[in-house]
Structure 1
Amino acid sequence: MSIVVVVRNMPREARRTLLSLSAGYQRRIGAAEYEVIVVDNGSDPPFDPRSLEALGGNFRLIRIDQASPSPAAAVNRGIAAAEGSVIGVMVDGARIATPGLLHFGRRAARLAGTAVVTTLGWDLGHDFQRFAVECGYDQAREDDLLASIDWPRNGYRLFEIGTPDESSWEGWLQPVSQSTALFMERRHWDALGGMDERLDLPDAGPVNVDIYSRALALRGAQPVVLLGEGTFHQLHGVTATGATPAETLGRRPQKVARPRRQPIYVGELQRSALKGLVRAAAYPLHARTAATFEPGFDLQLWTAQPPPKPSEPVVGALVDLARREFGAGRYGSTARIARMARRRAPDEAEPQRLLSLTAAAGEGALRPAEMIALAEAHRLVGEDDLAVTNFRAALERQLNSMEAHSGLARVRLPGPAYQEWLDHFHGLLAPATYIEIGVAKGATLRRANRPTLAIGVDPKPKIAFPLSTETHIFAETSDAFFARRGPDALLGGQPLGLAFIDGLHLFDQALRDFINLEAYCGPQSVVLIHDTLPLDERTQRRSCDTHFHTGDV
């Protein structure tokens, strides 16, 4: 068997990758059974051949001086030099392999007439690396991660510190879009003509997508997935281009092929890899992934006990919000909020844990509830403009969202909520009497405490909360209540202590309520009026067509 690995300006990463392909690291295969062809695709300075000396005599180096930035020609050069009947190709030399990759790759390539053998691609770290670097992830943190698992003592522990990359997020349950380590018999490589050298972008992604798609289109192609093996991408200077899919495929536009057959799974699922499989089953991000567990199964059971709450209050609030979204199955908002937390605290464990479960959901379209949660996250960190943008986006999709309207109100009126002000005045005044106009379900009426005598006025009260003190509720309009001098008997000639006007939300009605209440006031009386600052044009209309309604008070 021959393994072709392409390196370019990545000495730190290549040393680890090549070590992971050595006979001292790989299991169930001896050095005499395979060769590793390292193709230096124009590194400056050149890749040091002395790096191969300690790895064994089955490594050899090919140097291309006038190299294209694309790895396609380098791969073809390596394939041409290969002596094995089975050839495995790793286009990106920054990927550390697991210890069974070569044994199972060779075995799987001979299982079927046209076996197309792949393994899942992973990123080191707990998020896609292109996002992780924005949150402080760097090579030093990556070195610390590898040290934390005592790599290379047990290469399967890489699963503990890795995240499936964007090509393989649900790869054990759904087809992958590219292969980061592709094994086939030589005759199939020859039939394909190797890599397409017209793909001249410097990223490994385009050629990986192209060759894997063409391999799956071979007559009789049988996809084989190596279970419990993987390649783990290290952070290095050569990054993805960020191009669109059409640009990525460049000179050869082509859709990613879906396998015509169900894959065969080969390998042994290591305990450290179970998290990736269970995550894909428990939290599928695509509707086409069938439900795996019976109704009522607690999906939280398999996860580890969450770490302690972050010490920074804002990060803690973001983590709480992300956990809430995760528990509700809203993975898009979970990932985005967890990334916000990680930008503020790159080394906090809980944002990373949440991202390891939801990273792939962070770029899709959001549902209104997710927009609201993301808006709240922006509000928490003081990004009010982004908060408003997301709240309004939610309202465009869900006009009557009380949560979105309330969120906008919190941005417009930062500080204590009106319920807190009611509590403040009840505590400060300890009023003997309290009148509330517009009690609805009693959410604010219940804030009156003993020994206050509470009076509620509402033509259609629907009390849903336990009341805390002696309370008299009158199911009539406030105009009718005052016209018959309803407060007289209950006040007994004493001045009113505290009143709260929260009725029809119309200016003329609120004015009449105030005038009527003022007649019962003394020098120490306080009257509070709700909804005096309009939120937007729609909610300040006199006609009420939204649940959140300030009217023209």
Structure 2
Amino acid sequence: MFIFKRKPRLSIVLIVYKMPDQAERTIQSLSSTYQQGVSERDYEVIVVENHSDRLLGRERATKHASNVRYFHRNETQRTPVHAINFGAAQARGSHVAIMIDGARMLTPGIVRQTLDVFRMSANAAVSSPGYHIGDKLQQIAVNEGYNEEAEAQLLQSIQWPQDGYRLFDIAVLSGSCQGGFFQANYESNFIAMSMKKWRDLGGVDSRYDDFGGGNANLDLYKRLLEHPDTPFYLLYGEGSFHQFHGGVTTGTLKEERARIYKLLDDQDIVLRGENRKPPNVRPILFGTAHPSAYRFIRHSLDKVSSQ
């Protein structure tokens, strides 16, 4: 195992389950050869994989960088929440970023800009908007035949990973981020904070023990952004891009998805009551936008002007 000469500033916890090809691309997008303006000494990637019949495995998880640490777990419940809390407990950094879904590739400036924010404001919360690869939300596209082969063609069309910002050219905002950049959305797949704040929040709520963790990520996001003394910085020019992998909420057909959503919603009501609106905070927009992201800025302005 790679031994760090110094502790990294940021620990990125990435959860993997039954998505080996997608997870490897995500890890590649987290490597210092892809991320701009950082070195492997600045951050670490903690990959936690729950056991399945489609394993990523240590060899593939660590092939792109030496700052990746891999853990394989035999999870007994159908949820990633225990893996998240386990991964965060392994963190060496003063700050931690949570990626509940290992199938989401990142843009090349997200690590550097996260570190820049924490240099200015150690108590901040940092997140990036979420996107789905394709011309419509994947939970809709799957009913029209969208699959991994169609997505591979899209990635080939932009010659990924040559320019990671071209992911914007083949994507749409995820359902939880339809409100745009000028207000807090429902969640993010890149949620960063200090380790002190993570401990204050008690990590991810382990009671979310159903399909894919249910709304555990939305709950964490809301609790963090509404936590006292937590300025919220949105990396509006960066993003996480969901790859199709047959996931619970994006890869199942309409009838089955509706049934699962009902179960997850019922559990969320039990745990959070009716207080399930997006976090009541406004983001501080941080960073710069690649031209490919301009159309999403226009979308965000339209959302504000229509209110």
Work out whether the TM-score is over 0.5: yes
CA contact (8 A) 2:15 2:100 kept: yes
1:55 CA displacement: 1.2
The counterpart of 1:276, out of the listed 296, 300, 303, is: 296
2:33 aligned residue: 24
Of structures 1 and 2, the one with the larger relative CO (CA 8 A, separation 6+) is 2
The counterpart of 1:234, out of the listed 230, 243, 247, is: 243
CA contact (8 A) 1:90 1:181 kept: yes
User: Using a 3 Å threshold, how does the CA distance of structure 1 residues 72 and 251 change in structure 2: closer, same or farther?
Assistant: farther
- 1:70 matched to 2:69? The reply is no
CA contact (8 A) 1:34 1:84 kept: yes
- TM-score, normalising length: structure 2: 0.88
CA contact (8 A) 1:227 1:266 kept: yes
CA contact (8 A) 1:23 1:31 kept: yes
CA contact (8 A) 1:117 1:184 kept: yes
Counterparts of 1:192 and 1:35 in 2: how far apart (Å)? 22
Aligned length: 287
- After TM superposition, the structure 1 stretch with the greater mean CA deviation from structure 2, 255-264 or 35-44, is 255-264
Give the alignment of 1:176-325 within 5 angstroms: 176-204=185-213, 206-240=215-249, 241-242=257-258, 243-244=261-262, 246-247=265-266, 249=268, 251-254=270-273, 255-256=275-276, 258-282=278-302, 284=303, 289-290=304-305
Give the alignment of 1:25-64 within 5 angstroms: 25-64=34-73
CA contact (8 A) 1:246 1:253 kept: no
2:156 aligned residue: 147
Amino acid paired to 2:291: R
CA contact (8 A) 2:62 2:70 kept: no
CA contact (8 A) 2:204 2:216 kept: yes
Give the alignment of 1:340-355 within 5 angstroms: none
Q: Which 5+ residue runs of structure 1 have no aligned equivalent?
A: 293-553
1:164 aligned residue: 173
Amino acid paired to 1:178: E
1:258 CA displacement: 4.5
For the residue of structure 1 that corresponds to 2:224, the secondary structure is helix
1:101 CA displacement: 1.0
CA contact (8 A) 1:41 1:68 kept: no
CA contact (8 A) 1:106 1:183 kept: no
CA contact (8 A) 1:41 1:63 kept: yes
The counterpart of 1:8, out of the listed 17, 25, 40, is: 17
2:6 aligned residue: none
1:410 aligned residue: none
Amino acid paired to 2:283: P
% identical aligned pairs: 34
Amino acid paired to 1:66: E
CA contact (8 A) 1:214 1:257 kept: no
* Structure (1 or 2) with the larger CA radius of gyration: 1
For the residue of structure 2 that corresponds to 1:229, the secondary structure is coil
The counterpart of 2:142, out of the listed 110, 117, 133, is: 133
2:3 aligned residue: none
1:94 CA displacement: 0.5
- TM-score, normalising length: structure 1: 0.50
Counterparts of 2:171 and 2:297 in 1: how far apart (Å)? 13
- 1:84 matched to 2:93? The reply is yes
> In the TM superposition, what whole-angstrom CA distance separates every residue of 1:369-427 from its partner, at most 9, and x where no partner exists?
xxxxxxxxxxxxxxxxxxxxxxxxxxxxxxxxxxxxxxxxxxxxxxxxxxxxxxxxxxx
